[in-house]
Structure 1
Amino acid sequence: MEDVVRRGEPVETRELLVLATLAWLPVLFVAVQQTRRLQRDMVEVAEQREQRHGQFLDVSSEWIWSIDSVRRFTSSNRVVEAMTGYTVDEVLGVDALAFIHPDYQEETERAAYAALGASQGWFRWLLHWVHRDGHVLLLESTATPSLNGEGAVVGYRGAARDVTDEVARREAAVEQQQAAQERLGAVRTVLDHPDKLSIVFQPIVAADGLAVAGVEALARFTAPPVRGPDVWFAEAHTLGLGRELELLAIRLALDHAPDLPAGCYLSLNASPATLLDPALAVTLRQGVLGADRLVVELTEHAQVADYDQLAFALAPLRELGLRLAIDDAGAGYASLRHILQLRPDLVKLDRQLIDGLDRDPVRRSLVAAMVAFSREIGAELVAEGVERAEELETLRGIGVRYAQGYLLGRPAALVRGAAAPVPAQL
């Protein structure tokens, strides 16, 4: 009996193994089916991805490309031609580094090796790409690594866009900001160091006897950069410091009041913004000259937003004797509006009307009309920019009473007790 049991044991074991194997067969079958289904899904997803990528290549506005592990292009959309001048066929199989400007090839190659060694891509690299016609493009490139089954980098897939104009605009904006800071610093230097601003005076004389009637204060800047006073004041206004700079020039001019020739008036230039500033009235009252010996010149180029407001601001000073002059009359429509709205005491004719007056009947007629007009409104007429004796003689004949220009005296520092220089031959 025992022999029979021992002989039966192997039979039962084999049966159990067979039964166990049969029991697992459905599970194995399902697993195999799932694996096959998963493989089919992966293939389908990959095919769909490639299809979508291909469609993206066709519609993207960026240059879509791929390269292998040695930087050779393996795919590209057609944007490459519009962007770089090279066709797809011309870039495929070519080392990308060959298109980089020689000055940047070494730097680009080091960066590419570093990315490859770290199994990483890159984000918004700026590449100096040589266009087919020879000019340099700035391409912004972003890429992700392509990995094989073992996780090793076998290439890169990425996109690039032309940012040449964008970079140029950014750089221009930075340069403009730097230039503005430099201009601001220059104006601040003058405001903090008034010795960088000096005042010279040009005589205004009676056209008949050449007696000095007044002097115009003119600013001269010794601080760098070297440029004309008009540019200094224009930039100061752009920077919001125009009134401060004008008021400084006015204070410095008033400091020279004791040096004025006896009986002469002092003419000061001011923009509408400065005329509206209460600090101007304070500054003028603090000077040693009475208001009746002061003239404020408003330039033709200055824009007046509200004439009523400006007239209201000037009224108290004009009641004390301050006179208003319109500068550069005849240079444009603005001066005529200034005259009509503000009723000045003096009208200064622009140099453009005076140059060649003796040889040009049209200019003579226009100046003669201005003489009659100024008499009608009760204003004195001053001819600016007189440089030739013939011009002065013609002005006398037309009836212009006052003149100013290099012929009659160049801008110069005042010497206390001395009259402004007038050429002896006149």
Structure 2
Amino acid sequence: MFGMGRLGTKTRTFRPGLWLFVIIAMELGVVLAVGLPYVSGDDPWETWGWPVWISDGFSLLVVPVVVFASFSLVRHQRRERDEALKTNRLMDTVLSTSREWLWAIGHDGRFTFSSPAGVDLIGYEPSELLGRHFRLVIDPDDLANALQAKTSTQNAAGWSGLHAVCRHKDGSRVVVEVSGRALRDAAGQPSGFEGTSRALDPLTLDALATGETRSRIEAILASRSLLTAFQPIRSLETDAVLGAEALTRFLSPQGISPEVWFVEAAAVGLDVELEILALETALRAATGLPPALSVSVNLSPRACLDARLPDIFANAGIPMGRIVLEVTERQHVVDYGPLAAALASLRGRGLRIAVDDAGSGFASMRHVLLLKPDVIKLDRDIIAGIDTDQGQRALGAAMVGFAKEIGASLVAEGIETEAELSAVAELGMSAGQGYLLGRPSVRPEDWAQWDEAFQRRGIPKTSMNPGPN
């Protein structure tokens, strides 16, 4: 296993074993030549007429040759042993210092060898793997899929450059590059595998992550497997539900949050496509909301420029006057001219414009100043603790005054406590949204109940008109 050729040796033509065989054959020939006449009762030397000095000379010649051949054979065997020891030492050095994990698996799928590098790569000592099935560190189906995807680099000798995901001893995922070959016994039957594995470099990992991300998002786009949850937006004066915000939910086993999905989509250039799919899904689901409610949908500035939007909104199945387009802070806007023009065209058809997460950063406030929205939605960062923080309370009061000046309604996002609800109501904010006022739901039966009044348990009412939202 893991055989290594001899390093640093030269090809030798001298073969002492062959020479020894020749000498023995010559000795045997002499014995037969001399012995056979004796068997018949003749003197070989008299019969052939050979003088005695010839036999003596021949003996003197043969003996040193035999001694030399024997000495050469012993020296050759010693050299072979020394080279074998060097090879073994070199192999030990490779196994103990190599950063690549060398492994071997028997025909039953159990480890028969594991080098020390496996400790750094997957956390297992060699003794912990020997005799254990390889499914301990990699799922057989994952390995089969990886092999199938890498058929172009497979040949009769084996495979190389295979990317697979192994399970570390601590439970984490480790992406490795695997090279190996199938083994066969003397009868030609499969007897296992042997190979090497190494950790991928950061650049390759980034490329793989990008490819994996793109594949996941393309799969979502192809299957259109999104859900829409709606969260109610309530009037802080009448307790009535004024509208609902559409929140995208992903049907995937990875457990990735919606925000991460959109961030990753932007990283691979599929953000607009994913946002358009989320918009279409939300508008289709919105037909199940009570008809008096407005529907708030989120789009990034880049998606707002998409030429498909007018047709999407026109064919939404709900009146344009019910739709509120919330412009998010996902992207930096360099030139507001095209964005303002696109939104003005939609607004001319009855659609209302909102700026989402106002106050969370400079970009959102620029949206407010340059887009002149119909609705301003204050970020949770301003609302959280507004009942105790004087700075946040002052900022909230300033935003109420600003909204009045530009004729926009104000929605307080992320209300989670009774104290926060009381504080924003006292400041004169017209509407609110948050877990306290209603959690997001994908169930149409929950949406149907939003026509009912919300009991605020003694929260004082304000005299401010809730505005168009």
Query: Do the aligned partners of 2:240 and 2:452 also contact (CA within 8 Å) in 1?
Result: no
After TM superposition, give the deviation of residue 96 of structure 1 in Å.
6.3
How far does the alpha carbon of each residue in 1:337-364 deviate from its partner, in whole angstroms, 9 at most, with x for none?
Answer: 1111111111111101111111111111
Larger relative helix fraction = 1
Q: Which residue of 2 aligns with 1:319?
A: 348
Superposed CA offset, 1:225-267 (max 9, x none):
2111111111112211111111111111111233222321100
Retained in 2: the 8 A contact 1:299–1:328?
A: yes
Deviates more, 1:378-387 or 1:302-311: 302-311
2:440 alignment partner, one of 386, 396, 411: 411
Structure 1 residues 34-45: aligned runs within 5 Å: none
CA offset digits 1:56-92 (Å, max 9, x no partner): xxxxxxxxxxx9769xxxxxxxxxxxxxxxxxxxxxx
Unaligned residue ranges in structure 2 (runs of 5+)? 1-6, 11-88, 103-114, 122-197, 458-469
Contact 2:101-2:116 within 8 A present in 1 as well: no
Counterpart of 1:303 in 2: which secondary structure?
Answer: coil
Residue 98 to residue 209, structure 1, CA distance change in 2 (3 Å): same
* CA distance in 1 between partners of 2:409 and 2:100 (Å): 75
Structure 1 residue matching 2:449: 3-state secondary structure: coil
Give identity over the alignment, percent: 40
Matched letter for residue 450 of structure 2: A
* 1:76-155 superposed matches below 5 A: 99-102=93-96
Counterpart code for 2:396: V
* Aligned equivalents of 2:318, 2:325: Cα separation in 1: 13
Q: CA deviation at 1:383?
A: 0.3
- Tell me the amino acid that sits aligned with residue 190 of structure 1: I
Residue of structure 2 equivalent to 1:353:
382
Shift of 1:102: 2.0
Aligned residues: 283
Whether the 8 Å contact between 2:239 and 2:455 is mirrored in structure 1 is no
Which residue of the partner structure matches residue 217 of structure 2? 187
Residue number in structure 1 paired with 2:24: none
1:316 deviates by 1.5
Post-superposition, which runs of at least 4 consecutive aligned residues in structure 1 deviate over 6 A?
Answer: 95-98, 105-108
Post-superposition Cα deviations, 1:169-215, rounded to whole Å, max 9, x if no partner, equal 97222221111111111111111112x31000000010122111110
Match of 1:199 in 2: 228
What's the counterpart of residue 331 of structure 1? 360
TM-score of the pair, normalised by structure 2: 0.55
> 5 Å matches for 1:1-400?
99-102=93-96, 171-194=201-224, 196-400=225-429
Q: Which consecutive residues of structure 1, in runs of 5 or more, have no partner in the other structure?
A: 1-66, 71-94, 109-127, 137-167
Q: Would the alpha carbon gap of residues 275 and 106 (structure 1) be closer, same or farther in structure 2, given more than 3 Å must change?
A: closer
Displacement, 1:296? 0.7
CA distance in 2, matches of 1:169, 1:329: 44
Pick closer, same or farther for the CA change 1:344–1:107 going to 2, 3 Å.
closer
Whether the 8 Å contact between 1:408 and 1:421 is mirrored in structure 2 is: no
Distance (Å, rounded) in 1 between the aligned partners of 2:199 and 2:338: 41
1:174 aligned partner, one-letter code: T
Aligned to 2:74: none
- Alpha-carbon distance between aligned partners in 2 of 1:326 and 1:400, rounded to the nearest angstrom: 16
Q: Separation in 1 of the partners of 2:286 and 2:248?
A: 15
Offset of 1:99 from its aligned partner? 5.0
One-letter amino acid of the counterpart of residue 215, structure 2: G
Retained in 1: the 8 A contact 2:227–2:248?
yes
Query: What is aligned with 1:36?
Result: none
Q: What is the SS of the residue equivalent to 1:358? A: coil
Residues 186 and 224 of structure 1 are in contact (CA less than 8 Å); yes or no, is this contact kept in structure 2?
A: no
Using structure 1 for the length normalisation, give the TM-score. Answer: 0.61
Compute the displacement of 1:424 (Å). 4.0
Residue type at the aligned position of 1:308: G
Q: Find the aligned partners of 2:222 and 2:296 in 1 and give their Cα distance.
A: 25
Structure 2 counterpart of 1:143:
none
